[in-house]
């Protein structure tokens, strides 16, 4: 079974914000993981996505690959 984990961190929490500085949430679907990652990105979090499979190493998605993953319909 494939599991997605979205990790996010705030480098500078805004004044008056109650957002946690670090977030890590597991998801069973890619769509749920992508939606959560987009939400965190909009709130100013730096994010990474990890794909964890039952057998085999986890794959981390960052940088340009993460942008492509967040916007699958863009050219």
| Contact predicate 60/37, CB 8 Å | no
Token pair for 67? 């942008």
Is 75 part of a structural domain of the chain? no
Residue 64, H or E segment: helix 63-70
H helix intervals, 17-58: 30-42
Identify the domain containing residue 20 by its residue range: 2-70
What number of CA atoms fall less than 13 Å from residue 72's CA on the CB side? 5
Is 63 part of a structural domain of the chain? yes
- Please give the tally of structural domains in the chain: 1
- For the whole prediction, is pTM greater than 0.85? no
Taking only the tens place, the pLDDT of each residue in 31-45 is: 999 999 999 999 889
Is 36 part of a structural domain of the chain? yes
Taking only the tens place, the pLDDT of each residue in 51-69 is: 988 887 889 999 999 999 9
């Amino acid at each position: 079974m494939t599991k997605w984990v979205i990790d996010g961190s705030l480098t500078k929490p805004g004044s008056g914000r109650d957002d946690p500085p670090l977030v890590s949430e597991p998801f069973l679907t890619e769509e749920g993981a992508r939606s959560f990652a987009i939400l965190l990105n909009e709130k100013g979090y730096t994010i990474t996505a990890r794909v964890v499979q039952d057998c085999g190493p986890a794959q981390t998605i960052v940088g340009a690959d993460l942008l492509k993953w967040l916007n699958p319909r863009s050219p």
